[in-house]
Amino acid sequence: QVQLVESGGGSVQAGGSLRLSCAASGDTYSTHHMAWFRQAPGKQREVVAVIYTAGGNPYYVDSVKGRFTISQDKSKNTVYLQMNSLKPEDTAMYYCAARAAGGSWSIFNSDHYTNWGQGTQVTVSS
């Protein structure tokens, strides 16, 4: 099992930056794909960025390309989401999610992720 704990959320003005962290515990972390999702009030949860356990190009939703960067430090069992040039529409609860590698899955389907953090709130004011 992988346990996930997010941190780093907060309130910023438009154009500002935040870095979210997701600390993972459990000896299977290194074999999991890791993702950041977000959910704004009244909206569906959407995948923001995914980093794959085998490496390769991360996935980003179009609305954050060029502004957000997902990365990981396997020595610290931590995944990061660097968010720059924040916009009011980025306001949401952000969740870290994990899924063991292998099998058929869709990065867009939140049901395909097996482990979730508690979420961290990001609020961007105009």
Strand-pairing partners, residue 66, are none
Supply the pLDDT for residue 27.
61
Per-residue pLDDT of the chain (126 residues; tens, 9 = 90+): 789 999 999 999 999 999 999 999 876 667 889 999 999 999 999 999 999 988 889 999 999 999 999 999 988 999 999 999 999 999 999 999 999 888 888 989 999 999 999 999 999 999
Supply the pLDDT for residue 37.
98
Supply the pLDDT for residue 102.
84
Helices (H), the chain: none
Evaluate whether 102 touches 119 at the Cβ level (below 8 Å).
no
